[in-house]
Amino acid sequence: MDQLAMKKIAAQAALQYVKPDTIVGVGSGSTVNCFIEALGSIKDQIKGAVAASKASEELLKKQGIEVFTTNDVSQLDIYVDGADEINSQKMMIKGGGAALTREKIVAALAKKFICIVDTSKQVDVLGSTFALPIEVIPMARSQVARKLVALGGSPEYREGVITDNGNVILDIYNFEIMQPIEMEKELNNIAGVVTNGIFAQRCADIVIIGTPDGAKIIE
């Protein structure tokens, strides 16, 4: 079974957590695109959605789903998003699509964070297969990069990428994260960092893994 088919299995399984007459938090990325498509099939049962990226917002509108902003809501029942890596503690690395800051903002509004992935995203140690993205204020790029080198990482500027917030991305390679919560806090304390792609302080509550044998749900 190919990766897209497994993503669709996970996305479809997430629909069981969508309650009628609620506003659904929606992340971004290829697996979430599958979820948005699935959400379109029950669009008449929900009030609408809050999107974590402009790209997701456009896809929701194409499905005929009303889009709200984070300032329109005080809380969300669920937030559904993918991950670039996820460990056994339901902690993640996100930001491959450069939407990490908005994803953290929407996730913080949700009572329940549902992470949908295929089997390739599971890791023992965060940072072992995927670079860690950091969103940085442009004028601080070189300064932040030096701090990241001092922490033992190999930062690379993601050329040609501007986030929805007008900032840039540094990807840290060769950076295994043994203490995700502590590292998430430490990186966020560097002047010029908007946020980093470790989702450990707000990890997933439910993980849905698309497999060739169907959806595996970890609660």
List residues with catalytic annotation. Answer: 103
The reply, when asked if residue 121 is annotated as ligand binding, is yes
* CATH superfamily of this structure's domain 132-196: ACT domain (3.30.70.260)
On whether the 3-123+201-218 domain is CATH 3.30.1540.10, my answer is no
Which residues in the chain are classed under CATH 3.30.70.260? 132-196
In the block, tokens 């601080």 appear at: 140
The reply, when asked if residue 112 is annotated as ligand binding, is no
Residue 208 to residue 116: CA distance in whole angstroms: 5
**Amino acid symbol at 34:** C
Which pLDDT belongs to residue 90?
A: 98
Which pLDDT belongs to residue 1?
A: 77
The reply, when asked if residue 214 is annotated as ligand binding, is no
**Amino acid symbol at 195:** T
Helix (H/G/I), strand (E/B), else coil: 26: strand
pTM: 0.95
Which residues in the chain are classed under CATH 3.40.50.1360? 3-123+201-218
Which residue, among 55, 31, 51, 49, has the nearest Cα to 161 in the 3D structure?
A: 55
Question: CA of 164: how far to CAs of 91, 168, 184, in Å?
Answer: 24, 10, 21
The reply, when asked if residue 96 is annotated as ligand binding, is yes
Q: Could you give the strand order of the β-sheet that contains 193-196, starting from the edge strand earlier in sequence?
A: 154-157, 168-173, 132-136, 193-196
82, 31 in Cβ contact below 8 A? yes
- In this structure, the dihedral spanned by the alpha carbons of residues 195, 197, 198 and 202, taken in order and rounded to 10 degrees, is 70
Quote the tokens at residue 99. Answer: 């939407």
The reply, when asked if residue 210 is annotated as ligand binding, is no
pLDDT (tens digit, 0 to 9) for every residue of the chain, 219 residues total? 789 999 999 999 999 999 999 999 999 999 999 999 999 999 999 999 999 999 999 999 999 999 999 999 999 999 999 999 999 999 999 999 999 999 999 999 999 999 999 999 999 999 999 999 999 999 999 999 999 999 999 999 999 999 999 999 999 999 999 999 999 999 999 999 999 999 999 999 999 999 999 999 999
158, 169 in Cβ contact below 8 A? yes
Residue 213 to residue 157: CA distance in whole angstroms: 39
